Amino acid sequence: MSPTAAMLLPMAEDESHFPPDPSLFWQPLVKFGTVDLFGSEMTLAITRPMVILALTVGLLSWWLVATTRKAAIVPSKGQAGTEAVYNFVRNGIARDMIGSRDFLPFVPFLFTMFVLILFNNWMGIIPPVQMPTMGRIGFPIALTLLVYVVYHWIGVKKHGAIGYFKFMLPSGLPGWIKPAILALEMLTFFVTRPLTLALRLFGNMFAGHLLLVVFIIGGWELFLQGGLLSVVSLPAWIMAFAMTVFEALVQFLQAYVFVLLAASYIGGALVDEH
């Protein structure tokens, strides 16, 4: 196998991955040694998900530039496809969640997020790669950090630093309950929202990948047993096929949900005073 192919393909010649465990996702390609960070030893490395992410960014840039460079009023086939995806994010997500008054500045951000997450999720089932980038918690955290900064930034910009906290508090509450509600709202704004946003994407990709590994590698292990167990591998692989189709749906849905929630947080920070 050529070294470039080895960077993308699953590690087929390694020991069996059955039963799968979280170490499945740690696939370093080039190691640079270890550093001591917050008391725990961490390995600096270029990993397979990083290479996949770079690859998807390159492919997405090529796709977008190639289909929109000669943009015309009567679109070509490629341009029409790109516009369909763009319209889905612009009208279906951004305009619905943020409102038609000030959704336009956020459309590029949301569109980039959507295509990047969608393509990276689908890398989990596209044959030569078959590894969801977002199955490593660092990638969803980085994306969530962007959303986190954006919605707090525009919230503070619109309401002012003190007004932002005032805005979290619904009006017309009795005075004695205000501190408790403010504490709850701050927990939602600063902890629960980013935590669930990152963990939802991560958890779905992580669990989905493990599920596919169970059926595909499990079927292979059964096949190797010989005799009656080899026959059982057939239903296992049929199940693997069904699960792959199901995963394609889940992966699309998670990209959609991530961007939908990001848009709703942005829209929530932009609404006028209660």
Partner 1 sequence: MTGDITLLGYGLAAIGPAIGVGLIFAAYINGVARQPEAQKILQPIAILGFALAEALAIFALVLFFIRL
State the residues that interact with partner 1 by CB under 8 A. Answer: 22, 92-93, 96-97, 196, 199-200, 202-204, 206-207, 253, 256-257, 260-261, 264
* Smallest separation (angstroms) from partner 1 to the CB of 127: 27
* Number of neighbouring beta carbons within 10 Å of residue 180: 10
Choice between 129 and 215, CB closer to partner 1: 215
Provide, rounded to whole angstroms, the least separation between the CB of residue 208 and partner 1: 11
Report in angstroms how near the CB of residue 235 gets to partner 1 at its nearest. 23
In angstroms, give the least distance from the CB of 64 to partner 1.
25
Q: What is the gyration radius of the CA atoms in the chain, in angstroms? A: 23
In the numeric block, which tokens belong to residue 25?
């996702």
Provide the minimum distance between the beta carbon of 85 and partner 1 in the complex, in angstroms, as a whole number.
17
Between 119 and 206, name the residue whose CB sits nearer to partner 1. Answer: 206
What are the start-end ranges of the E strands in 14-130? 28-37, 40-47
Nearer to partner 1, 50 or 255 (CB): 255
> Which residue in 8, 17, 4, 6 sits closest to 217, CA to CA?
17
Inter-residue contact 266 to 151 (CB < 8 Å)? yes
Nearer to partner 1, 51 or 201 (CB): 201
Residue 75 or 203 having the CB closest to partner 1: 203
What CA–CA distance (Å, rounded) separates 245 from 243?
Answer: 5
Distance (Å, whole) CA 67 – CA 83: 9
